[in-house]
Structure 1
Amino acid sequence: MKFDFKLATVAAGFLGYVFAQSAERKIAIIGAGAAGSAAAYFLNQLATEAGVNVNVTLFEKTNHIGGRSITINAFDDPAQPFEQGASIFVPINYVLYESMNAFGLTPRDPDVGSDPVMGIWDGNSFVFTINENHPEWWTNLKILLRYGPTAPQKAKDLVTATIGRFLQMYTPQFFPFESLTERAEQLNLTAVTGVTGQHFLAANGVGTLYANELIQSLARVNYASNLPNMHGLCAMGSVAAQGAIAVQGGNWQIFDEMAQRSDAHIQLDTAVTAIDKDSSGTKFEIQTTSGSTPGTPSTYPTSFDNVIIANPFQFSGISVGEDVFSTTLETIDYVQLHVTIFTSTKKFKPSFFNLPSWISAPGAVLTTLAKTDTPTSGPDGVGKPGFWSLTTLGKATNPQTNQQENVYKIFSPEAVTPSFLSDLLGGTVPSTFTGGSSPISWYKATVFHSYPKTSPRTTFQDPIVGEGVYYTSGIEAFLSTMETSALMGKNVARLIVDDILAAGSGSGSKMVKSRESDSERDSQGVWWEKQSVLN
């Protein structure tokens, strides 16, 4: 008999209310990015539905909610925001898409205002270009003539099948999960993460030229890596951008709304420095510092029953007591991505791309390896192009001239130099980048630890890392997106509420075990259901 998850939730919620309505579960969430904000939001939502009492405190060391999802204001004008990273999501990103609609946020087409011509450059020449203003039949013909009749369709089918498997993680049969490794094995996704993107595509009949040019250029702009250096699931995720949208004013607003609607005690500019058990050994004490120039850490006045660490632990600077973790938190090698955004009245100089002066350069430039490159050529494998991507985001009005200028964004493994920009724009860019006769009127450069280097692997950090302690960033080595981080936040929220209900009813982990066994029985039905959604 199929396990009725909704009925079980109602029944368990009633039991939780009867046995534990007076007990308050105090929960600390460290980090208000996608995962932490989602955890707070869904803890409030799920606890309310189940009739249990949670008291959540959300700690964020910066003054910004949304983590790596952040906008930057051209000319420092809040009326002219542009995405600094995490630019898009798609309708099958259910947590983000449904939250955007629930919060009444306005979606926008991320391509509006951008340049319609996209080229794939290998450091020598453009191997392929697409103009979105051209008829679709013309674009399809160009793809057919360069890549043949089978590679594009095989790649599309492979993406559909792989993402279909991943989407089962949202269904009652497979959600929530206590072990990401076990869930990936059950869905046969370790067969995808265990090999390189290059191997996965080749093994499924996707032509080498199509993989090395079109798919690899998308992998590089999404994960700053080449197909031989990343696992197959990230490669497939790079291509799955059909129907891409963004939120008007910035995607970070989804997470800000989550945090504000969670009823959590939001502590901005508050860095957690230490976690330890209290004298009773049953609750957690947290040390914090506050402000831009923090002083000596102090003990936060509340002790907590649960702690959710919702940021990469290796960058947190948090010390932990010896009884906090029951497992070692893996240190993952993250990509260091330089994001450079600037404005200029100039367009890209054709000669920079070895084009004759009468041919305009594409306004969106993705890159791939040159024939003489290897997957490790240049810093972090960027190869002869020297950068991962160069895109035109749109237009912004210069307040000094009241003229519209182009807004450009560069992803690169190293800091962009004035010499590089001088060659790109055809004018002299000074060491200050702006000022004087510089072709650049406004400039902003930032460095992110943007996402893990996703080499092939079949095991992942599980979300439960100690008794009462949860960790969300393990999912980033599996698939690093705003959506998957939010999904893991929702997952740990569900695990905690289930734990509260089980404790109140005295049923231990029986509810979780029942759900696990049911997922094995119903996996095939969910697979076909999700395939129909994707098609």
Structure 2
Amino acid sequence: MRTDYLSKVSATVLAFLSPSSFRLSSGEASPKELVPIKTVAIIGSAGAGGSSTAYFLNKFLQPPQINRKHDHSITIFDQDDKIGGRCTVFRVSDYHPDRNGTVQKDKYIEVGASIFVKANYNLVDAAKQFGLKTEPLADEMMAIWDGKTILFEESRWKYWSVFKGFRRWGFSPFKLRVIILNTVNDLLEFYVSPETFDSISEFARRFKLDKLASIMSEQFLESSGISKQYATEVIEVATRVNYGSNLHEIHTLGAMVSMAANDALRVQGGNFQIFEGMVGHSKAHVRLSTKIARVRRTKPEYEGADTKFEVITASGQKQVFDIVVIAAPIQSTNIDFDLDLPPLPEVEYRTIYATFVRGHVNPAYFKVPPTKKLPAHILSTNSEDVEVTSISIQAKMSNGETVTKIFSPKPIQEEHLDRLYLNRTWVKSKIWKAYPKLHPLDLDNEDKDKKTSVDPFSEINTNNEQVILKKREEEKARASWGQIEIVPGVFYVNALEPLISTMETETIAGENVARLVRDRILGYCPVEKITKRM
């Protein structure tokens, strides 16, 4: 869930991705430069990363992006029975009385990623291209709760909310806004850049994200003059809802993205439709409900032949591809990768407990009089008295009930629901590994290499002490900053996630991988035609 609730005290920030060139040429394709049809397998998920990889790859291999169309084949494998990955909805039926009887009107509740913003150009452009209707979120009120009392509640009069915020937090919201806007100006360059990057560290340095991703939020905010009260009552509230993390558990970039909520949008009927559209426009062969058991490198047909990869399903079906794209966290795929993979970074994913309840929330739980209307979104601070991270209204039913979504640090028990609700019609729950724990990443690896480089004829180098130190630092850097092409011909979309994880950045990661695969297929880097959207 990407909260829109703090938009009046925050600003929009984006985090993006793209990779490093394969081989340069004149940028013009001659008939000799075009190679026979190439086959690409995208395995793991048809979610934001996998669908966008297929969509952009097909686009990049068509005129006017290249001189002439290049024949290719894309196959998407997903063990789920639907497209969308972690972006999914469920339907709630509501019945409205009408002159002619009762009319059923369905409402769609987002289980995973709930919103995106107008500056998320990949998602916005795709929704427009596919004819999807987007809608802004209702201007509903937000409150901050510490487990005992409501610390802050928005007013419908915008300027009164601003005044109350200034009275409580001083200039801290304005200081943070400046930091975010400076970051946004750098990040928006991605949309007018045809560059490619083969590692997350290169991308982070290019768009000046390395500093933010290398320092703990708590430390950065203090050094930037952000008051502790504002940090814990607003910014930490956002990181808890968005990434299940307190400020001492998340890097600064994650905290800034958590405050990204201005101009929030969603697709009517569910955001997953964007990714269905991407898959449809990619012209890919889609194999849903197909579990991959093994991916292995095949033996070359002859000396000097290109490497190929055999993809084997759980049912024993086999298919050979020229290129493989992994579009899910490797740790969660349970696929046997017989590829001589290098040591991959150990990325911990946060377990999220989401509970959906249809009923009536009990105002007394929040120490609010029965006559007072509760805010639509109640977000909690990091307090020992807090039992839920957030509770927010997702839909209002015609009979007065609401459908609310609860995030909590552990599963909600019946006894807790009895206190939290006056009554309830039904309860649904979802537990999943939603996103990685955004720990600070290694910084300035190239500078470290320079500091540890030594004269090969020096005495200390003869004893290998400096060489060993340098090797260890390089290994540590690789563990933190993932490579996009993990072995020749195998690309990893989710390498970006330790840097940041959102729907938009997944599509940017997919666009980046598509550029790398395009360059591998063509054997050169075409002069890409970029549409300016800034």
TM-score class, shorter? 0.7 to 0.9
Instruction: Letter of the 2:33 partner, please give it.
Output: F
Partner of 1:471: 492
- Which aligned pairs between 1:124-203 and structure 2 lie closer than 5 A? 124-131=148-155, 134-148=156-170, 150-172=171-193, 175-203=195-223
Name which of 71, 75, 88 aligns with 2:89.
71
**Hey, what's the Cα distance between the residues in 2 that align with 1:258 and 1:10?**
30
Partner of 2:520: 499
Partner of 1:412: 408
Q: Deviations over 1:269-306 (max 9, x none)?
A: 001111001232721001113xxxxxxx3132x31010
Shift of residue 444, structure 1, vs aligned partner? 1.2
Query: 4+ residue runs of structure 1 moved beyond 4 angstroms?
Result: 8-11, 75-78
Shift of residue 186, structure 1, vs aligned partner? 3.3
Partner of 2:52: 38
The answer to whether residue 313 in structure 2 is matched with residue 288 in structure 1 is: yes
Shift of residue 228, structure 1, vs aligned partner? 1.4
Structure 2 unaligned blocks of 5 or more: 1-22, 95-103, 302-306, 443-479
- Which aligned pairs between 1:222-237 and structure 2 lie closer than 5 A? 222-237=242-257
Q: Give the 3 Å change call, closer, same or farther, for CA 364–191 of structure 1 in structure 2.
A: same
- Which aligned pairs between 1:118-517 and structure 2 lie closer than 5 A? 118-131=142-155, 134-148=156-170, 150-172=171-193, 175-280=195-300, 282-289=307-314, 297-300=315-318, 302-323=319-340, 325=341, 327-344=342-359, 346=360, 348-370=361-383, 383-396=384-397, 403-426=399-422, 439-458=423-442, 459-502=480-523, 511=525
Name which of 94, 118, 128 aligns with 1:101.
128
Partner of 2:13: none
Q: Which has the higher helix share?
A: 1
**Hey, what's the Cα distance between the residues in 2 that align with 1:110 and 1:61?**
32
Q: Deviations over 1:103-137 (max 9, x none)?
A: 1110012226xxx3311111121111113xx2211
* Counterpart contact for 2:324–2:491, Cα < 8 Å: yes
3-state SS in 2 of match to 1:477: coil
Q: Deviations over 1:323-372 (max 9, x none)?
A: 4x3x222221111001111211x2x32321233445443331111123xx
Q: Give the 3 Å change call, closer, same or farther, for CA 93–140 of structure 1 in structure 2.
A: same
Shift of residue 404, structure 1, vs aligned partner? 5.0
* Counterpart contact for 1:74–1:396, Cα < 8 Å: no
Instruction: Letter of the 1:425 partner, please give it.
Output: Y
Higher relative contact order (CA 8 A, sep 6+): 2
Shift of residue 13, structure 1, vs aligned partner? 5.2
**Hey, what's the Cα distance between the residues in 1 that align with 2:434 and 2:504?**
15
Alignment root-mean-square deviation, CA: 2.4
Q: Give the 3 Å change call, closer, same or farther, for CA 279–78 of structure 1 in structure 2.
A: farther
Q: Comparing 75-84 with 449-458, which one deviates more in the overlay?
A: 75-84
The number of equivalent residue pairs is 454
**Hey, what's the Cα distance between the residues in 1 that align with 2:522 and 2:28?**
7
Instruction: Letter of the 1:41 partner, please give it.
Output: Y
**Hey, what's the Cα distance between the residues in 2 that align with 1:328 and 1:396?**
51
* Counterpart contact for 1:43–1:54, Cα < 8 Å: no
Q: Deviations over 1:26-52 (max 9, x none)?
A: 000012110000001111111113222
Q: Deviations over 1:207-254 (max 9, x none)?
A: 221111111111111111111110000100011211010001000000
Q: Give the 3 Å change call, closer, same or farther, for CA 417–489 of structure 1 in structure 2.
A: same
**Hey, what's the Cα distance between the residues in 2 that align with 1:24 and 1:357?**
68
Percent identity for Structure 1 against Structure 2: 32
Instruction: Letter of the 2:151 partner, please give it.
Output: V
**Hey, what's the Cα distance between the residues in 1 that align with 2:93 and 2:483?**
43
* Counterpart contact for 1:40–1:262, Cα < 8 Å: yes
The answer to whether residue 27 in structure 2 is matched with residue 12 in structure 1 is: yes
* Counterpart contact for 1:285–1:299, Cα < 8 Å: no
Partner of 1:524: none
**Hey, what's the Cα distance between the residues in 2 that align with 1:495 and 1:78?**
45
**Hey, what's the Cα distance between the residues in 1 that align with 2:82 and 2:348?**
25
**Hey, what's the Cα distance between the residues in 2 that align with 1:331 and 1:59?**
24
Q: Give the 3 Å change call, closer, same or farther, for CA 279–299 of structure 1 in structure 2.
A: farther
Q: Give the 3 Å change call, closer, same or farther, for CA 127–404 of structure 1 in structure 2.
A: closer
**Hey, what's the Cα distance between the residues in 1 that align with 2:380 and 2:185?**
28
Structure 1 unaligned blocks of 5 or more: 1-7, 290-296, 371-382, 398-402, 427-438, 516-528
Q: Report the TM-score, using the length of structure 2 for normalisation.
A: 0.80
* Counterpart contact for 1:312–1:473, Cα < 8 Å: yes
Instruction: Letter of the 1:410 partner, please give it.
Output: I
